[in-house]
Amino acid sequence: MRRPTASVAVVAALGCLLAACGSSEGGATSTTATTSTAAGDAHAGHGSSSSASGSSSAPASTGATSGATPMQGRAGDVMFAQMMIPHHAQALDLSEMALAGHGASATVQDLARRIQAAQQPEIDQMTAMLKGWGAPVSAGDHAMPMEGMVSEGDLKALSGMQGPAFDAAWVKAMIGHHEGAVSMAEDVLSTTQDPAVKKLAQAIITGQRKEIAEMQAMPTT
């Protein structure tokens, strides 16, 4: 009487085992799919890693739009601000030189004050932009040559001049300096998608072209 019962029990056990195997395989497939989906979602949350992992660029683009990755797509904007800050700083130094004991004319001194008034706020604005983008204010080892910068030799020569000779050399140096700034601003206008960067670049172009024309009309030139 016990043998038939044992046979039934064995058959039932085998049936349960087969059912369990089938369920396990299905569960493994489901778990793998879930894990894969989660991994894809994790990569989508790291926009800078999407190209390396082979995931779609769409999530990264969404992250950039929402502000999650403010540096993404800003290489030109960052370089512009990092280069223009020291460029403007030299213009401030030149302006200070014109106001500090070189016998500069009233016309040159007036322009120097206006350059200070225009370019210091622009330095402050670009510094705030870089911080907002999560970028360093200085380009460091990645710095590139800046157009129109006055050489150390020319600065030294200028520092030893007085009166009309100073005026003539200062105006010549500042015209070249302004032309370099205009060129840099025109370059970023051709690449940037940021309205604030476009507005700043256009302001630099407009303001400094006007000052170039003013200096070219000075009797010192």
Confidence check: pLDDT of 18 > 50 = no
Comparing CA positions, the residue from 154, 215, 152 lying closest to residue 182 is 215
- Per-residue pLDDT of 105-122, as tens digits, reads 999 999 999 999 999 999
18 vs 215 pLDDT, higher one: 215
- pLDDT, position 73: 76
Q: What tokens were used for 55?
A: 């995931």
As a whole number, the mean pLDDT across the chain is 76
| Residue showing tokens 């403010």 | 70
Which domains does the chain show, CATH number per domain? 2-66 (no CATH), 75-216 (1.20.1260.10)
Q: Which region among 11-15, 46-50, 96-100 has the lowest average model confidence (pLDDT)?
A: 46-50
Q: What tokens were used for 218?
A: 């000075």
- Per-residue pLDDT of 35-68, as tens digits, reads 333 333 333 333 333 333 333 333 333 233 334 3
Confidence check: pLDDT of 1 > 90 = no
- pLDDT, position 7: 40
- Per-residue pLDDT of 119-138, as tens digits, reads 999 999 999 999 999 999 98
- pLDDT, position 25: 40
Q: What tokens were used for 148?
A: 């129109």
Task: Report the C-alpha gap between 70 and 95 in whole angstroms.
Answer: 35
Q: What tokens were used for 184?
A: 């840099």
Are 40 and 50 a contacting pair, CB within 8 Å?
no
| Residue showing tokens 């601003």 | 185
